[in-house]
């Protein structure tokens, strides 16, 4: 059986799923809305199951890959409330000091997909940390629905401060070359934008379909930005014109790409919203951007 893609679903079903994923609809609300687009062979429950992540199918790099060294570390929280857990991945063999990159997750915490993205990036000769914003609530619970519900109880200010702390910890990594970038997806895209505002010492930021920072804060950005958007993502794209204007006024170096025919989450290869062509191109651009700005 061929893998399902976004084209196999009615646009309204994809919009309902986006609302469900981001907490604007509960499970019952999705099922009721999607019921209008069911057939005798496919129920609303089946539609939701088809759209749900399949981590095993999408995994590209095994956690036991001998080319990598992985570890979980506890990074002190700046709020004085314990630590934030980070998944650290680095090449098993490296000649000299390497650039460092923080990977910011979507609104489900450090799930298997984001851990896999961190490993993919480490294979490109980067030292990577993927913090788990759910650390203060016990960490990623191993279930996407539970993780989504847990995320809605998270203190946003605490989470943002934990990502800042993790980025500064990574910047000072003894095996790093002193240059640090961030890449984030969805919620993590907004984190990438936030870190660009908060950390003048950041060297590069790559938000994938992330919420934009307040226009009045954009002038604080010093890092160059590579911004990826999906074409069919009204919720996020609505904030781009104001962000673009602020970036231009502040003369922030930035490059933006809109990927035709794509949905929010097009880089996440665990769901049918994944777009192979766009994801490959966006990832190639991301690696080239980091190599250009983070290597001495």
The CATH number of the domain holding residue 101 is 3.40.50.1820
Residue keyed to tokens 């000299």 = 96
Tokens 């960490």: give the residue: 139
27 & 164 share domain: no
Pair 258, 229: CB distance under 8 Å: yes
One domain for residues 194 and 132: yes
pTM of the model: 0.94
Whether 89 shows a pLDDT value over 70: the answer reads yes
Task: Report if residue 28 sits inside a domain.
Answer: yes
Q: Please name which of 294, 188, 195, 196 lies closest in space to residue 254, comparing C-alpha atoms.
A: 196
- How far the first Cα of the chain sits from its last, in Å, is 47
Q: Are strands 176-185 and 127-131 parallel, antiparallel or unpaired?
A: unpaired
Task: Check residue 1 and give its pLDDT.
Answer: 46
Averaged pLDDT, 52-56: 89
Tokens of 28: 């019952």
Task: Mark whether 183 and 276 lie in a shared domain.
Answer: yes
Residue 17 belongs to some domain of the structure: yes
pLDDT class of 107 with cuts at 50, 70, 90: very high
Query: Does one domain contain both 46 and 173?
Result: no
* Longest CA–CA separation in the chain, Å: 60
Residues 223 and 114 placed together within one structural domain of the fold: yes
Q: Answer yes or no: do 40 and 59 share one domain.
A: no
> Does residue 155 sit in the same domain as residue 70?
yes
Tell me the sheet residues that pair with 206.
183
Q: Which of 99, 70, 104 is nearest to 87 (CA)?
A: 70
Share of the chain above pLDDT 70, in %: 98
pLDDT of 271-292, one tens digit each?
999 999 999 999 999 999 999 9
Same domain, 173 and 214: yes
Residues 46 and 60 in one domain: no
Q: Is the pLDDT of residue 253 over 50?
A: yes
How does pLDDT run across 190-212, given as a tens digit for each residue? 999 999 999 999 999 999 999 99
Q: 30 and 109 share a domain?
A: no
Given pLDDT bands bounded at 50, 70 and 90, which one contains residue 57?
Answer: confident
64 and 34 in a single domain? The answer is: no
Identify which of 219, 286, 210, 220 has the alpha carbon closest to the alpha carbon of residue 255.
Answer: 286
Q: What is the pLDDT of residue 41?
A: 72
Q: What's the pLDDT at 39?
A: 82
Which range marks the domain in which residue 35 is found? 6-51
Whether residue 283 is contained in a domain is answered as: yes
Give yes or no: residues 211 and 86 share one domain: yes
Name the residue among 76, 126, 72 with its Cα closest to residue 101. 126
Q: Is residue 1 part of a domain?
A: no
Of 51, 67, 82, the one marking the end of a domain is 51
Range with the lowest mean pLDDT among 31-45, 124-138, 163-177, 254-268? Answer: 31-45
């Amino acid at each position: 059986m061929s893998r399902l893609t976004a084209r196999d679903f009615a646009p309204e079903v994809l919009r309902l799923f986006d609302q469900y994923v981001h907490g604007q609809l509960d499970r019952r609300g999705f099922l009721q809305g999607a019921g209008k687009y069911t057939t005798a062979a496919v129920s609303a429950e089946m539609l939701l199951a088809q759209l749900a992540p399949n981590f095993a199918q999408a995994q590209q790099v095994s956690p036991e890959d001998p080319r990598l060294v992985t570890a979980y570390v506890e990074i002190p929280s700046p709020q004085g409330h314990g630590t934030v857990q980070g998944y650290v991945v680095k090449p098993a063999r490296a000649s000299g000091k390497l650039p460092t990159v923080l990977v910011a997750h979507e609104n489900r915490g450090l799930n298997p997909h984001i851990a896999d993205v961190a490993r993919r990036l480490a294979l490109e000769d980067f030292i990577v940390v993927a913090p788990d914003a759910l650390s203060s609530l016990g960490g990623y619970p191993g279930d996407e629905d539970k993780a989504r519900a847990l995320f809605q109880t998270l203190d946003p200010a605490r989470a943002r401060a934990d990502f800042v702390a993790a980025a500064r910890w990574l910047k000072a990594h003894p095996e790093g070359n002193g240059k640090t970038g961030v890449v984030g997806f969805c919620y993590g895209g907004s984190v990438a934008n936030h870190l660009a505002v908060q950390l003048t010492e950041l060297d590069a930021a790559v938000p994938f379909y992330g919420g934009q920072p307040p226009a009045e804060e954009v002038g604080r950005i010093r890092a160059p930005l590579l911004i990826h958007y999906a074409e069919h993502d009204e919720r996020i794209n609505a904030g781009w014109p104001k962000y673009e204007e602020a970036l231009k006024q502040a003369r922030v170096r930035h490059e933006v790409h809109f990927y035709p025919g794509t949905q929010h989450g097009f880089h996440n290869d665990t769901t049918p919203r994944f777009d192979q062509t766009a994801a490959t191109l966006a990832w190639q651009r991301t690696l080239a951007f980091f190599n250009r700005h983070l290597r001495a």
